[in-house]
Structure 1
Amino acid sequence: MPYDVVELRQHFPALQGPTAYFDGPGGTQTPREVGAAVADTLTGPLSNRGLTADSQLRAERAVEQFRLAYADFLGAPPGGIVYGRSATQLTYDLSRTIAKTWRPGDEVVVSRLDHDCNVRPWVQAAAAAGATVRWIDFDPATSEVPADSVAAAITPRTRLVAVTGASNLIGTRPPVRAIADAAHAAGALVYVDGVHYAAHVFVDVAELGADLFVCSPYKLLGPHCGVLAAAPALLDSLDFDKLLPATDEVPERFELGTLPYEVMAGATAAVDFLAGIAPGGGDRRARLAASYAAIEEHESRLLQRLEDGLAALGDAVTLHSRAASRTPTLLLTFPGRKAWDAFQFLAGRDVLAPAGSFYAYEPFRRLAVDDEHGLRLGLAPYSDDDDITRALEGIAAWLDA
C-alpha cells in the first residue's frame, strides 16, 4: 500500500498548526497516542513498583512493557534494556564505569563524526584513567570515513571504540560493522551512539556489532529519555556505582532512583506507533521492519526532491551532507551569508529549520565552515511534499532578499 502521510499526520496535534518542522534531528513531534499513554499512566492509579496493589502492578507492567518494546525495537534481549534520562547521561554513567578497568597505556578510540555525547564522556574518562585517546577521522569533502583512518586508530592497545551509527549533523552513516569487527579483533568493546540512526534505520544491534547501543525515544516520536541495549552478561560484568540498598540485578542496578513509569509508558507507545505505520501482520519486530522500510522509502523520495531543489539554487548554497550512505539530514551553509539569518527568515514563514552546530562539536569544527552556524534540514516520517516546497521557496526568497 502507498505511504499515507496525510493519515499519519492526523495523529500529531502539532502538525495541525501552520509550521513545517525540519527539526526532527533535535527531537520529533509527538503523536496523540504517546501523550495519552503518558497521561493514563501518570494519573494512575500509580505507586512505586510492587506485586500487591493494583497501583504497584501498573508500575511493574510499565517497566516490563518498556523493556519488551525496546527489545523488539533494537533486536536485543529484554534483560539488557536500560532506561536512562538521556543518551548523554547513560554514556557518562557507562564511561565512568568502564574506565575503572583502564590503565595508562590503554587506548580509547572516538570519532570526529560524532555528537559530543559520544566523544567527551570517553575523552574525560580516558584522561582520568591515564589512557590515550585516538581518533577516527572523516573527509569533509566527501563526508565519508576513510578505511585507513579506522585502521590507523584501532591498535592492540584499544580497549573501547565509540562511534556513531549516523551523524546528527550531516547524516553520514559510517561503516559501523567494519569498525566493530576491527575493534573486536583487537579485543575492544564497541559503543554505538544510535540516537540519530534509530530515527531513520531499522536497528539490529547484533548485526551492527555493537556491544552497547544507545538511542533516544524523543528522536523517534516518543518522550524525552534514553535507552541503552547490551547483553545482560556484559552489564553484569560492569562494576556500576549504586546505592547500597538498591538491587544488584541487571538491568535494574543501572537505573538510579525511582523510575518515571509514565515516561516509560510513553516510550513504549512510540514503538507501538512506529510498528503500526505500515499495514501488515507478524510480531512487533516484523511490523517495525515493515514500517521502517516504508519510512525509508518515503524519506528518501522527499530527500531527493529537497536536494534537487537546493542544487537548482547553485553556488549560493553549500551542501555538506555528501556521503553515499546517510540519513535524510542536510547541513547547509551560505557563502558570504549567515545561516542564523536564514533560520530566522524561515521561522518567520513558519518553517522551522534551526541553525547551529547541534552539539556536534568535532564534526562541525572539522568541516571548517566560515559561519559559526549551519542550517540543518532534517526529515521525519511525518514530513510531506508541502514541507519540502515551503522550505525550498523560503530559502530561495531569503537568498533573493
Structure 2
Amino acid sequence: MAFDVARVRAAYPALAEGFVHFDGAGGTQTAAPVVDAVTAAMRAAGGNRSTAFVPGRRALDQVAGARAAVADLLGADPSGVVLGPSATALTYTLARTLGAHWRSGDEVVVSRLDHDANVRPWVQAAEAAGATVRWAEFDPVTGELPAGQYADLVGDRTRLVAVTAGSNAIGTAPDVSAIAKTAHAVGATVFVDGVHSVPHGPTDLAGLGADFLVTSAYKWSGPHLAAMVADPARWAALRPAKLLPSADTVPDRFEYGTPSFPLLAGVTAAVDHLAGLDPTATGDRRTRVRAGLAAAQAHEEAVFDRLLAGLADRSFVTVYGSPARRCPTVSFRVAGLAPAQTAAALGEAGLCLSSGDYYAYEYFRTMGLRDSGGAVRASVYHYNTVDEVDRLLGELDRLAASGGRMTR
C-alpha cells in the first residue's frame, strides 16, 4: 500500500498554518492525538503517584504507559526505560554514574560526528576520573564514520564507546552493530545516541548492539521528553546520586523529581500515532510501530532523494557529505551567503530550516565551518512532500538570482 501522506499530514494541526517544515531534526510538529492526550490529562483531576486515590493511580498508569510505549518503539523492556526531560540530561546522569567507577588509565571512545550531547558528557566524566579520551574520526569528504577504525581505538582499558546511530548534521548512519561488536569484544559498554535515527525507521535495541540507547519524543511527533533504555540488569548495577527519600528501585532511581504526567500521556499517544502510520498493519503495538516506521521511511527516502538531486543540480549550492547510509538530513551552503542569511531568507518565504552547527560541534569545527556560521540544514520527516521540496528548490533559485536579497 502506498504511503498516504495526505492522511498523515491531516494528523498534524500545525501544518494548517502553511509553513514548510524541513527542521524535523530540531523537533517535529506535534501529532493531534498527542495534543489531545496531553490536554485530556491536564483537564482531568491530577495528583502525584499514589495508590490511595484515583488521581494518584492515574499518575502511576501514565508513567507505566509511557515506559511500555517507549519499550515497544525501541524493542526494550519497560522495566529498563528511564524517562527524563531531555536526552542531554539523561546522558549526563549516566555519564556521571558510570564515570564514578573509571580510573586513571581507563579509556573512553567518542566520535567527532556526534551531537555534543553524546560527546561532552563523556569527555567531562573522563576528565574528572583521569581517564583518556580517544576520538573516532569521520571522512571529511563522504561524512562516513568508518567502523574499521574502532579496532585500533578500543583495547583492554576501554570502558565505554559512545556513537550516534544517525548524524543530526549530515544524516550519516554508521554501522553501529559492527562498532558495538568491536567494543563488546573487549568488554566495553556501548552507548548509542538514537535521537536522530529513531524517528526515521524501525529501531531494535538488541539489533544495534547498544547497551544504552537514548531518544527524544519531540523528534517523533511527541512532547518535549526523552527516554533512555537498557536491560534492567544494567540499571540495577548502577547507583546514581539521588535524594535519600526518593525511590531506590529500577528504573525510578534514575529519574529526578516529579515527572510531567500529562506529557507522559503524550509520549504514549505519540507511539500509538507512529503505530498507525501504516493503517494496514496488524498485530501488537511493537509490530505495528515497526511497520508504520518502515512505511514512513520509504516515503521519506523518496522525498529526500528528490531534495538531494535538486541540490546537486545547483552549482551555487555546496552539499556536505555523501554517506551511503543516512537519515534524511543534509547540510549545505549557498554561495555568497552566510548560513544564517540563507535560513532567514527562506524563513521569509515560509520555509523553516535551521542554520549554525546544531550542536554538532566537532563536525563543524573539524570541517572548518563553525566559525563562519556552520551550514543550513534540511531534514525530511514523514509529513514532508515532493511538492515542498520543489518549493524549497525554487526559493533557492530565486535567492541565488536575487544575489541573496530577500524579495518578499
TM-score (norm: length of structure 2): 0.96
**Residue 26 (structure 1) aligned with residue 26 (structure 2):** yes
The residue number in structure 1 matching 2:268 is 268
CA distance in 2, matches of 1:82, 1:146: 31
**1:24 is aligned with what amino acid?**
G
Render the CA deviation track for 1:268-315: whole Å, top value 9, x for unaligned.
11000000010121110110111111111100110111111112212x
CA distance in 2, matches of 1:376, 1:94: 30
Q: Percent identity?
A: 47
- Given that 1:213 and 1:229 are in contact with CA atoms closer than 8 Å, whether structure 2 keeps it comes out as yes
The residue number in structure 2 matching 1:294 is 295
The residue number in structure 1 matching 2:383 is 382
CA distance in 2, matches of 1:204, 1:105: 33
Task: Give the superposition deviation at 1:149.
Answer: 2.5
1:362-381 alignment to 2 at 5 Å? 362-369=362-369, 371-381=372-382
CA distance in 2, matches of 1:184, 1:18: 48
**1:207 is aligned with what amino acid?**
G
CA distance in 1, matches of 2:130, 2:35: 46
The residue number in structure 1 matching 2:213 is 213
Task: Give the superposition deviation at 1:347.
Answer: 0.6
Matched residue SS, 2:191: strand
* Runs of 5+ unmatched residues, structure 2: 403-408
The residue number in structure 2 matching 1:391 is 392
Task: Give the superposition deviation at 1:367.
Answer: 2.0
Matched residue SS, 1:161: strand
1:1-400 alignment to 2 at 5 Å? 1-279=1-279, 280-314=281-315, 316-369=316-369, 371-400=372-401
Matched residue SS, 1:92: helix
Matched residue SS, 1:101: coil
Task: Give the superposition deviation at 1:386.
Answer: 2.0
Task: Give the superposition deviation at 1:368.
Answer: 2.1
**1:263 is aligned with what amino acid?**
L
- Given that 1:70 and 1:268 are in contact with CA atoms closer than 8 Å, whether structure 2 keeps it comes out as yes
Render the CA deviation track for 1:32-69: whole Å, top value 9, x for unaligned.
11011111112221111111211111111101111110
CA distance in 2, matches of 1:57, 1:164: 37
CA distance in 2, matches of 1:400, 1:155: 54
* Runs of 5+ unmatched residues, structure 1: none
**1:322 is aligned with what amino acid?**
S
TM-score (norm: length of structure 1): 0.98
Q: What do you get for the CA RMSD once the two structures are aligned?
A: 1.1
- Given that 2:141 and 2:321 are in contact with CA atoms closer than 8 Å, whether structure 1 keeps it comes out as no
Task: Give the superposition deviation at 1:335.
Answer: 3.8
Render the CA deviation track for 1:182-217: whole Å, top value 9, x for unaligned.
111111100101000101121101110000000000
Task: Give the superposition deviation at 1:113.
Answer: 0.6
Task: Give the superposition deviation at 1:336.
Answer: 3.5
How many residue pairs get aligned? The number is 400
Render the CA deviation track for 1:309-355: whole Å, top value 9, x for unaligned.
112212x1111131000010010023443121111111111011121
Task: Give the superposition deviation at 1:372.
Answer: 1.8
